[in-house]
Amino acid sequence: MNLLPETVQVLANHPMIQGIKEASGDIEQITLLSTMIPSDFYLYSGNDDQVFPVLELGGKGVISVTSNIAPSLVAALIEMYFQGQIEQAKQEFERLLPLHQAMFIETNPVPVKTILPWLDILQVEYVCLW
């Protein structure tokens, strides 16, 4: 369910709510939201293909589908960003975009469930689809 920024702003002040997985897909909405929430409220990208823009808007990370098959790559992107390696993080984000898109060729979780057995057979951490 999509929560409007005004609703999240109210929820962000509740002591039992610490953050949000923002998966609306609407960068304009996410931008507005980022200006309305307190700095200690955790904004996570809920879409792998938007993680870099969300980080640039003050996001704290991603709740990721792609990390189910390529955890170290997604973690490295986030780590690069927070270590101040912004350009490298952007390049990694762009490199991962085809993989993120492939994860949604079919409705989630079908692609992940299809690829996971391949990883075991191939004994690799991720499958390079590009």
Domains within the chain, CATH numbers bracketed: 5-122 (3.20.20.70)
Residue 54's SS3 state is helix
- For residue 98, is pLDDT > 50? yes
Asked if 70 contacts 112 with a C-beta cutoff of 8 angstroms, the reply is: no
Residue type, 78: I
Amino acid present at 38: P
Position 112 scores a pLDDT of 75
Nearest CA-CA partner of 116 in 70, 55, 76: 70
Does the pLDDT of residue 27 top 90, yes or no?
Answer: yes
Mean pLDDT over each residue of the chain, to the nearest integer? 89
At residue 122, the pLDDT reads 46
- Does pLDDT of 28 surpass 50? yes
Q: Where does the chain show beta strands of DSSP type E?
A: 19-22, 42-45, 61-62
Q: What is the CA radius of gyration of the chain?
A: 16
pTM: 0.83
With a cut of 70, say whether residue 101 has pLDDT above it: yes
